[in-house]
Amino acid sequence: MRFALLVASALFLSCANAQNYPSRPVKLVVPFPAGSATDQVARVVGHELQTALGQPFVVENKAGAQGGIAAAEVAKAAPDGYTLMVTTNTPQAANVSLFKKLAYDPVKDFAPIARLGTISFMIMVRPDFPAKSLKEFLAHARANPGKLSAGYGSAGSQVSQAMLRQMGKIDFVDVPYKGLPQAITDVMGGTIHFTFADLANALAQQKGGKLRGIAVTSAKRTALAPDVPAIAEELPGYELIAWFALVAPAGTPAAIVDQLHARVVGALAKPEVASRFAVLGTDVAPMNPRELAGFIQSEIAKWARMVKAAGIEPQ
């Protein structure tokens, strides 16, 4: 009888907390640095949730270990809806194959809320880089084996580089970063020769004339940059797409997850939000919690295949 009363009391408190949610600011953890595509998407989504729910959604950047530091922290947070993470394919799928050991389980330790969108990458070089096309870029790299350097700051950029090396039969030096903004800065400064930048950053840099796009990782050209060819035009079969999603610690009450999902989907349906995503090179692509759970598991298997095919050894 005592146990039954305790269970009933816990359920009552859980429902009461869900009905009053949120009653204080919510922390929105981003596993990459300020200025990254994930950060920019998180700020759009956070603003929409803050407007809809009447409480601040405070973005907190926790970069490092390909998003693993943030993921481990969120996995251990109280499952009360006040710590969320705008995650990506990197900590939630690819890291399983990129690292020998993780401090979190991307499936068991999280409650999926909603997929937000998808994005591709673009090879970016300085305006004075000698190659003007992808064909010239590949020829230049083959003529200078091991002399070019490329920076990565996410699984998407790391695997993109490895696939280019293998499929293009070229050799260059990989330089790891905590996030893509730093890699982009070093390309502009001439410290490294190129990077695979997400379209959120690539389009802004290309528009400003600071960097030049060589090719995109999507299977076909993107309408956001129709003059930039797809890598697949020179290397058939090349394709890499990344994604963003909102998750909470495992055990977060279903009522809170459902409420957040409904608010997020409502926001993503707004034309102005879709337009802001487009500026970030991101396509709106929502999924519900059950769909996202299955998608993450399928992505873990997919990225395992890509990491293995690209010849990347786990760290």
Give pLDDT tens digits for 251-277: 999 999 999 999 999 999 999 999 999
Is residue 220 pLDDT above 60, yes or no? Answer: yes
In this predicted structure, the answer to whether residue 167 has a pLDDT above a threshold of 70 is: yes
The pLDDT mean for the chain works out to: 92
Pairwise CA distance, residues 168 & 51, whole Å: 47
Q: pTM (2 decimals)?
A: 0.84
Per mean pLDDT, which range of 14-23, 30-39, 184-193 is the poorest?
Answer: 14-23
3-state secondary structure of 190: coil
Mean pLDDT of 40-56: 97
HSE of 116 in the Cβ direction (CA atoms, 13 Å)? 34
Exposed/middle/buried for residue 279 (C-beta within 10 Å: 0-12, 13-18, 19+): middle
pLDDT at res. 5: 42
Q: Residue 64 has which token pair?
A: 């490092």
- Dihedral, CA atoms, 92, 90, 95, 67, nearest 10 degrees? -90
pLDDT at res. 224: 86
Question: What CA–CA distance (Å, rounded) separates 52 from 9?
Answer: 30
> Is the pLDDT score of 38 beyond 70?
yes
For residues 246 and 296, is the Cβ–Cβ distance under 8 A?
no
- Tens-place pLDDT, residues 87-136: 999 999 999 999 999 999 999 999 999 999 999 999 999 999 999 999 99
C-alpha span between 181 and 189 (Å, rounded)? 12
Largest CA distance in the chain: 79
Looking at residue 232, what DSSP letter applies?
G
Segment 50-101, tens digit of pLDDT: 999 999 999 999 999 999 999 999 999 999 999 999 999 999 999 999 999 9
Instruction: Quickly state the pLDDT bin for 17 (edges 50, 70, 90).
Output: low
Q: Is the pLDDT of residue 179 over 50?
A: yes
Residue 311 zone, left/alpha/beta (φ > 0; ψ -120 to 50; rest)? left
What distance in Å separates the CA atoms of residue 204 and residue 308, rounded to the nearest whole number? 32
